[in-house]
């Protein structure tokens, strides 16, 4: 977001410098007032659209608005994404410190994987940052590579929670037949010693993410766990039933899972 | 947010122009790298802090971070606040259109007042945009004035919902002894023909906002109303029990009500 006005300023500076050094032929054309207005309008609209997505005001959505494609790209590759992820992790950790950990080993934290523990940015960078229609084949190839990096702030949070004595449950919409690749990728990214990796089994196929994830959290509660915290980039990771005492929404303007 | 980098660019431009026209004595001192870095860091931090507040990741908070005071002022007085409010109203309206309104007059929408139907910006502008400790006396004087303007997008939404046949319930944390001033203010701002104005009665005093508002929504449900939508600037307007089918969070980085 902030990067647009900054680039604009450097553009203006370059134009000014070039027109000072050679007044007849400026190398870069100044944007017309209309262009500039429509850019500012797009930035404003897309920032508000993004906020609506993150707060769940937007509800279910299928596609990044066309005018926001470059906004999403700038967001995901610029400093805001990392900063937003860090602040979420900071608030998660501050809350975790307020939890009194019992001696029964039943204090739990639930993490989603994609865009929560791992970032699939290398994949989405090659696929329009979510603006292209989802392609299951290329996605499966990417998952099998097992090379998605950790979101640094999430890895730090994960390690601190482990050290504090939380049991860590990783609950993903990926399917059982991706277990090996997923476990390998988590290790590759630095996530060691997780307590359980829960994937969609055959009986979970076709279940809405909110219901599937609620059912699995419910199983944990029935096993005696207290789910203190839950971290996910989708509202379907966090809402439903058997919800955590505190839920933490990581940013994701690229896609929506219902 | 976007205004800082822009002002920076104009500052840089001015400096460049002045140093070109009179190279020995630039009128404006260039900010040092440290100053610039810390401004950019503050903008980034405050944008992320704001997102954490709006998504409820921040949980309960008492004070705007000192470094974000000018961010909040810029946000509230700049185009982002209006844009964010408009986009929330647009999503609310799109959802409302998907509701099938029955003939029994029991389809309801619940609105909060402060920073939802009305904006208290004139008050907060005179009181540090929420950065000052809340002062009940000056607040009561402001409420009695009954001059808080409508948030334009909310007024438009309100009128469209009424026209569609929704019953409109206005549910506020203001107390019964502010009923006259509040009703007068709503009329002043253009909100006519609301179906019920619900304020905190003596028996609601000391109840947490989330519980008080849930209880009042529960009363409506017991009267046979279906609460399709709920609009509020606080998560305590939206969470708890008897929640609406869809909740819409209006932006408010100035204060938090638990």
Question: Chain B residues with CB inside 8 Å of A20's CB?
Answer: 20
| Side-by-side strand order, sheet with B107-111 | B196-200, B167-175, B107-111, B226-232, B246-249
Minimal Cα–Cα distance from A194 to chain B, Å? 24
- Asked if residue A112 lies in contact with residue A171, where contact means CB atoms within 8 angstroms, the answer is yes
Cβ A59–B95 below 8 Å, yes or no?
yes
Name the pLDDT band for A97 (thresholds 50, 70, 90).
very high
Count of positions (residues) in chain A: 258
A-to-B residue pairs, Cβ atoms closer than 8 angstroms: 120
Q: Is B202 helix (H, G, I), strand (E, B) or coil?
A: helix
Mark out chain B residues that contact chain A at CB-CB < 8 A: 1-2, 4-6, 8-10, 12-13, 16-17, 20, 40, 43-45, 47-49, 51-52, 54-59, 79-80, 83-84, 86-88, 91-92, 95, 246-249, 251
Minimal Cα–Cα distance from A46 to chain B, Å? 10
How large a percentage of chain A has pLDDT more than 90?
84
Minimal Cα–Cα distance from B248 to chain A, Å? 5
Minimal Cα–Cα distance from A140 to chain B, Å? 31
In angstroms, rounded to a whole number, what is the distance separating the alpha carbons of residues A115 and A189? 13
Question: Chain B residues with CB inside 8 Å of A95's CB?
Answer: 59
Identity of the residue in A13, A40, A57 whose CB atom sits nearest the CB atom of B88: A57
pLDDT for the residue numbered B118: 98
pLDDT for the residue numbered A39: 73
Minimal Cα–Cα distance from A53 to chain B, Å? 10
The predicted-structure confidence for B209-244, as pLDDT tens digits, reads as follows 999 999 999 999 999 999 999 999 999 999 999 999
The predicted-structure confidence for B53-86, as pLDDT tens digits, reads as follows 999 999 999 999 999 999 999 999 999 999 999 9
Segments in chain B below pLDDT 50: 1-35
- Asked if residue B209 lies in contact with residue B173, where contact means CB atoms within 8 angstroms, the answer is yes
Cβ B2–A84 below 8 Å, yes or no?
no
Indicate the average pLDDT of chain A.
88
Note the maximum CA span of chain A. 78
Identity of the residue in A40, A55, A87 whose CB atom sits nearest the CB atom of B49: A87
* Nearest-Cα residue of chain B relative to residue A231: B57
Question: Chain B residues with CB inside 8 Å of A48's CB?
Answer: 80, 83-84, 86-87
The average pLDDT across A19-42 equals 50
Q: In the predicted model, is pLDDT for residue A9 greater than 60?
A: no
Which residue segments constitute the domains of chain A, with CATH numbers given?
A: 3-54 (no CATH), 82-249 (3.40.50.1000)
Give the lowest-confidence range in A2-16, A179-193, B45-59: A2-16
Does the ipTM surpass 0.95? no
- Residues 6 or more apart in contact with residue B109 via CB below 8 angstroms: B96, B161, B166, B167, B168, B169, B227, B228, B229, B230, B231, B244
Identity of the residue in B8, B44, B84 whose CB atom sits nearest the CB atom of A51: B84
Whose tokens are 């009042």? That residue is B216
* Nearest-Cα residue of chain A relative to residue B52: A88
* DSSP output for chain A: -THHHHHHHHHHHHHHHHHHHSSS--SSPPPPHHHHHHHHHHHHHHHHHHHHHHTTTT-S--S--GGGHHHHHHHHHSHHHHHHHHHHHHHHHHHHHHS---SSS-EEEEE--BTTTB--HHHHHTTGGGTSPP-HHHHHHHHHHT-PPBPHHHHHHHHHHHHHT-EEEEEEEEEGGGHHHHHHHHHHHT----SEEEEE-GGGTT--HHHHHHHHHHHHHHTT-EEEEEEESSGGGT-SSS--SEEEE----S----
The average pLDDT across A69-92 equals 98
Torsions phi, psi for B112 (to 5 deg): -80, 170
In angstroms, rounded to a whole number, what is the distance separating the alpha carbons of residues A150 and A86? 13
Q: In the predicted model, is pLDDT for residue A27 greater than 50?
A: no
Question: Chain A residues with CB inside 8 Å of B65's CB?
Answer: none
CA B103, B108, B114: angle at the middle one, nearest 5?
Answer: 155
């Amino acid at each position: 977001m902030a990067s647009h006005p900054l680039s604009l300023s450097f553009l203006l500076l370059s134009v000014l410098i070039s027109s000072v050094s050679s007044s007849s032929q400026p190398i870069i054309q100044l944007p017309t007032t209309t262009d500039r207005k429509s850019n500012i309008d797009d930035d404003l609209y897309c920032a508000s659209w993004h906020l609506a997505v993150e707060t769940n005001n937007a509800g279910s959505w299928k596609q990044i608005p066309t005018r926001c494609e470059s906004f999403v790209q700038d967001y995901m590759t610029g400093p805001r994404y990392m900063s937003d992820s860090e602040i979420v992790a900071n608030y998660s950790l501050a809350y975790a410190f307020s939890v009194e950990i019992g001696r029964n080993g039943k204090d739990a934290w639930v993490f989603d994987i994609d865009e929560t523990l791992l970032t699939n940015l290398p994949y989405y960078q090659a696929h329009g940052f979510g603006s292209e229609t989802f392609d299951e084949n290329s996605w499966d190839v990417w998952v099998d590579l097992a090379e998605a990096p950790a979101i640094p702030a999430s890895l730090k949070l994960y390690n601190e929670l482990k050290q504090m004595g939380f049991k860590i449950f990783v609950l993903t919409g990926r399917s059982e037949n991706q277990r090996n690749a997923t476990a390998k990728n988590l290790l590759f990214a630095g996530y060691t010693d997780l307590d359980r990796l829960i994937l969609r089994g055959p009986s979970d196929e076709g279940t809405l993410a909110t219901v599937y994830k609620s059912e699995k959290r419910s199983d944990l509660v029935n096993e005696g766990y207290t789910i203190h915290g839950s971290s996910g980039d989708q509202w379907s990771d966090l809402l439903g039933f058997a919800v955590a005492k505190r839920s933490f929404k990581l940013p994701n303007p690229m896609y929506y899972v219902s």
